Amino acid sequence: MSRPRTVGHLDAAYRLLLQQDCPSWLYAVTQGATTIWERWDSLRPDGTLNPGGMTSFNHYAFGAVVDWLYRTVAGLDAAEPGYRRLRIAPRPGGGLTHAGADLRTPYGEASVSWEKSGDVVAVTAVVPPNTRADVELPDGRKLVVGSGRHTWSATVSSGATPAALTVDTPMSQMLDHPEALAVLRETLTRHWPEAAAHMDTESTGSAGYAEVSPRQLAAFFAEGDVWLAELQERLGGL
């Protein structure tokens, strides 16, 4: 998850974090999980166990996402070994309105928190004694501060109005709209149940169709035109 932060794909990283369809971190939560699973679908949507030979319901590997929550979402990171110098660079997104993280370093406790209201993000940070911090605020401002408690206010763009969803919209964009994705699956199940079932497999999930639009998918089955007409009408009502 750290890679999208460095190459400008923050929206995609947040989508990976917050989507609820399998494969995702929140799919397990929708199934009642209170621990991290070994497989994305250790428990299938129909309540059956994954038949694979390795199916643990308490397995750390996918929990590594918490590193990204600390370093990117909250924005607390080390700029030098041992936290002699900190990096404070919160990256709000994904519809979240607040986040925060704290860490006990060799120099004392460090923390960052932010809260978003409209287009304004209020950031608060605590830098331990005898250390410094490189700060990059959500509006792009950069500064260096010493130890102590600091507060800043940053104005960020709300972004352009989302484009209307149509049968030419890639699946990757529909993943950000749970209602649209539900309509797509519901209608596809009636017209081409095999494709709808394939979207729920661990190997691909909805992400397996990321850059495919419904119109492109419709070219592969007999009732494609009928499905497209129904889907477009339903999407127009959202």
Q: What tens digit of pLDDT does each residue of 76-120 get?
A: 999 999 999 999 999 999 889 999 999 999 999 999 999 999 999
**What is the residue-averaged pLDDT of the chain?**
86
State the helix-helix crossing angle for 224-236 and 178-191, rounded to 10 degrees. Answer: 150
157 close to 119: Cβ distance less than 8 angstroms: yes
Say whether pLDDT at 12 is over 80: no
Residue 161 has pLDDT above 80, yes or no: no
Query: Would you put residue 125 in left (φ > 0), alpha (ψ -120 to 50) or beta?
Result: beta
Model pTM?
A: 0.70
pLDDT above 90 (res 160): no
User: Two tokens at 10?
Assistant: 């923050």
223, pLDDT greater than 80: yes
Q: What is the pLDDT of residue 237?
A: 83
Pick the more confident residue, 154 or 182: 154
If we measure between CA atoms, which residue out of 21, 23, 17, 26 comes closest to residue 39? 23
How would you classify residue 148: left for phi > 0, otherwise alpha for psi between -120 and 50, otherwise beta?
Answer: left
